[in-house]
Amino acid sequence: MRQHEVLQEEQRIMDQVVILAGGHGSRMKAAIPKPMLEVLGVPMLGWVVQACEAADLRNICVVTGYKSQFIEHYLNNKYKTVLQAERLGTGHAVMQAVPVLEENPDGNTLVLCGDAPFMDSETIQQAYQLHTAQGNAVTVITAKLDNPFGYGRILRSETGIAAIVEEKDATDAQRQIQEVNSGAYWFRTADLLTLLKGLSQSNVQGEYYLTDTIGLALEQGKKAGAYLTDNTDVVLGANTRKDLLHLNEVARWKVLEKHMENGVNFINTDGIIIGKDVEIGAETTILPGTQLKGRTKIGARSTIGPNCVIENCVVGEYVILNYVQAYESVIEDSVKIGPFVHIRPNSHIRSGVKIGDFVEVKNSVIGESTAIAHLTYVGDSDVGKKVNFGCGTVTVNYDGIKKNRCVIGDNCFIGCNTNLIAPVKLGKGAYTAAGSTVTKDVPDYALAVERADLKVKEGYSLKKLKSKLFPEDKNKN
């Protein structure tokens, strides 16, 4: 590794992030912390953390508050947390992270809001470059808005930034300024530790404001700057359910536009929701009512929908899914599934498979070119190639205590209404007669027939239905 790369690596290790995620969001009427409310299925905090990770920032400390256990569970010990027991402002929140900051005082610290999900890695990196190049004690990330109402305005000077003026304190002339504070800052860590000590509660709210660090820095002869990002959405947050809905709509269209640029086709976008981490190949069509979640990956030239839910699945090319719900499974190329099919976790549907209406597959491998036409349950099974399932087939995989597997060889033919009582194995090319309950292994190319002898009782129904068929006889009595 070259010397400058070693220095960059050492600098990245010293740089750190403080994410403010202690808010309650009482107007949301939520039973969880506000940053845990979801945008496109991912907590707002998760969006912020992923932006930091994409910017190669590894030392992250999350400041928690209201019901902190939800955030700690979500982070799963991956990053440090500190508790803000009392909510006394943004400056006070950062103060809770001082012990963590003191571990690497020679680096820089990025402060972000955990409920502002659209901060991006490019903005983080470019703001950092400006911050270090100018030798600033603090660099504010800003954006220009057509309608800046409600945001703190940025007052610039010849050497950088002069102040941040809140809406309620601004003059009429200052309210015309379109550049606003995003609530995100880069600090030189040693300067941040000093500036935090100078914050006071001498304001109407009685809180410690992080914005006051700008004035303090300038008073102490330190440099303060501002990085103006092209991503105006970095300022967006949510204080109400209406705000949260707006964030979801903004995110939804960002994702849809990205996929359209990559060659994905949409006939109509009604009800289509695609997660931020979903990948879709070119010339694939997504039909209305479809939800693609988690880290789903879909190949090229497939048709998904209408009304599909696909979560954490890998789907191949030339696949047709119609009214399908699939979770944590693999669906290979040229598969056709639907309508009204449920693919449950840990299933692997191999190429050329056809699955028809009202079929459920769970924790099973379905071999190439197998056909499961309709009204069938295949659970905990290993199915070979070119198998044909008749209507009403069930793999009976649960004995009330444990799950057992069925093994079905290549080219088997399963007759309608067959019950395969696991564990059981059908050899290659084996047949089962319709209506059979198979409890023993069937050898290659054999026929399994399990039916009781048919008994016919003459006149049984005549006696039973006599009063309905011949009501006049009843009247005679």
Give catalytic residue positions: 374
Residue by residue, DSSP assigns 241-261 as HHHHHHHHHHHHHHHHHHHHH
> What is the pairing mode between strands 160-165 and 38-39?
unpaired
> What value does the CA radius of gyration of the chain take, rounded to a whole number of Å?
32
> What is the pairing mode between strands 431-432 and 447-448?
parallel
Contacts of 338 (CB under 8 A, 6+ apart): 308, 320, 321, 322, 323, 324, 355, 356, 357
Q: Where are the alpha helices (DSSP H) in 198-308?
A: 212-219, 241-261
Contacts of 180 (CB under 8 A, 6+ apart): 142, 143, 144, 145, 148, 151, 152, 153, 154, 235
Long-range pairs for 348-353: beta carbons < 8 A, 24 or more residues apart:
350/385, 351/316
- Whole-angstrom CA distances from 283 to 17, 39, 229, 320, 337 are 40, 27, 33, 13, 19
Q: Are 321 and 307 in contact (CB under 8 A)?
A: no
Stated as kind and residue range, the H or E segment containing 468 is: helix 460-469
Q: Are 68 and 156 in contact (CB under 8 A)?
A: no
Question: In 312-436, which ranges are E strands?
Answer: 314-315, 320-321, 324-327, 330-331, 336-337, 341-343, 348-349, 354-355, 359-362, 365-366, 371-372, 376-379, 381-383, 388-389, 394-396, 406-408, 413-414, 419-421, 424-426, 431-432
Amino acid at 196: L
